[in-house]
Amino acid sequence: MQEKLDNFYLNQEEPNQSCFLALRELILSYHEEITPDFKYGLPFFMFRGKMFCYLWKDKKTNQPYISFAAGNRIEHSSLFQGDRKRFKLLFINPIQDIPVEVIREVFDLAMDTY
């Protein structure tokens, strides 16, 4: 699993690679019970064995995002649901500073659902 995770990050083109690596560190440092996993070809993050979020990029714009598993139970103005029933997305612009405070706000809301 670790090799697949490493390859995911290493195979991304810049500036997405740096963005994904920074997001990984931010997610893992948020809570000691968040652990990395690799599911469906994507880097997932689990909280107490349950899906918390995953990282991916938009097919059209190539913009990275964090997708929250409990998105349908989280209300935040920065989240985008589109036609998804469960997951909501938080888009991250890879050429700007990562909105750490916004991400932590959403993480706080997501933690309330567990």
Is the Cα torsion angle 9, 20, 18, 104 positive or negative in sign?
negative
Task: Identify the domain containing residue 98 by its residue range.
Answer: 2-111
CA–CA gap between residue 74 and residue 15 (Å, rounded): 28
pLDDT digits (tens, 9 = 90+) for 25-44: 999 999 999 999 999 999 99
Spatial contact of 106 and 100, defined as CB atoms under 8 Å apart: no
Q: Provide the domain count of the chain.
A: 1
pLDDT digits (tens, 9 = 90+) for 53-73: 999 999 999 999 999 999 999
Strand partners, 35: 46
CATH number of residue 60's parent domain = 3.90.1150.200
What average pLDDT score do residues 2-31 get?
95
